[in-house]
Amino acid sequence: MHQNRFAIVLTLALLAGTFALYAAELPQIGQQAPGFTLPSQDGTNVSLKDFSGKWVVLYFYPKDKTTGCTIEAHNFQVALPEYDKKNAVIVGVSVDSSESHKEFCAEQSLTFKLLADTEKKVVDMYGSTREMSGNKLAARNTFLVDPKGKIAKVWTQVNPNKHSDEVLVELSALTKK
């Protein structure tokens, strides 16, 4: 009986520690988007405030050059003219380095900004951290930021195959209002 209680307490403590890893809250609709500055694939620093007056599709993804991330990036790239028409920019964030982003963009002909959050501060600020094989990566979440810098829509655990289409539908609905 005593061992069972110990096992239960230990299990609960481990679960609490696991949840603490994901404790950062997702920014909510209507809330000001947390500001940040990160290096891009071309080595220049990019800040969220640089896009003031535009819609920003801020998408977090786990890793350059992986299947799902490549599909998601390609879909955003293909739809880029549609985003341009809606005064929207695409900005991807992962914990990969600027150099990794540079290679990924060159290999995949990506023209939008990919930002390197190697210190994992922005993924934490956006509640978009996940553990994978003992490494802290970005979770596949997206935040649509309106031209005034407020969160307009949040998607979590997105499907990279259809996500760009989902974002365009929502952006179209919001820009008609």
Contact 52, 32 (CB under 8 A): no
- Give 132's strand partners: 135
Of 46, 69, 93, 138, the catalytic one is 69
Q: What angle do CA 110, 112, 117 make, to 5 degrees?
A: 100
Label residue 3 exposed, middle or buried (CB < 10 Å: 0-12, 13-18, 19+): exposed
- State how beta strands 151-155 and 113-116 pair: unpaired
- State how beta strands 129-132 and 142-145 pair: unpaired
- By three-state DSSP, how is residue 133 classified? coil
Size of the chain in residues:
177
69 catalytic, yes or no?
yes
* Sign for the pseudo-dihedral over CA of 167, 123, 148, 32: positive
Q: What CA–CA distance (Å, rounded) separates 81 from 53? A: 18
Instruction: Kindly list the catalytic residues.
Output: 69
